[in-house]
Amino acid sequence: MNNKESSLKVSMFEQATVFLERAGEFYPYGVFINKNGVAIPVGVYDDKDYLPSAEVITILEDNLYRKIKNNESTLVGIGVDVKVNEVIENNEVVKKDALMIKISKDGKNWKEEYYTYQINNNIVIWR
């Protein structure tokens, strides 16, 4: 992992932690690395009370693609609150809360990574 990807992930974990500790969940959000190597968080705001997560992700993908196309960024990411299946004792499958981080260098091809978490007494514990 290079420095830009590390900075992007640190910012994404920081954002997710704040959202989870305040609200216990979050809408998808984005982060891009600007020309100076600084991670800049971005969100989607709309007059509607509720946008479906899939629509928010599409808007973020489009906006972050433009950041790359306009040479404002070379690395972008999207954080999504998801559930993943995890196999535990006796081959039982349970659903776990997770942060999915989607990373792209071109805004078209996305690599997905998953990080499970628990919230205990409003404190996020990353697994």
pLDDT confidence of residue 46? 75
In eight-state DSSP terms, residue 122 is: T
Pick the range with the lowest mean pLDDT from 30-34, 84-88, 94-98, 103-107.
Answer: 84-88
- What are the CA-CA distances from residue 78 to residues 28, 31, 32, 86, 123 (Å)? 7, 6, 9, 22, 22
**pLDDT confidence of residue 2:** 83
Domain that residue 122 falls in: 3-126
Q: Average pLDDT, stretch 56-71? A: 97
pLDDT at 75: 98
Mean pLDDT of 43-51: 80
Q: What is the pLDDT of residues 4-23, one digit of tens each?
A: 999 999 999 999 999 999 99
71 φ/ψ angles, rounded to the nearest 5 degrees:
60, 30
Of the candidates 73, 83, 69, 70, the one whose C-alpha atom is nearest the C-alpha of residue 114 is 83
pLDDT tens for each residue of 26-37: 999 999 999 999
Q: How many domains does the chain have?
A: 1
Q: What is the mean pLDDT of residues 77-104?
A: 95
Residue 48 has pLDDT above 90, yes or no: no
Claim: this prediction has a pTM higher than 0.75: yes
41 and 30 in contact (C-beta within 8 Å)?
yes
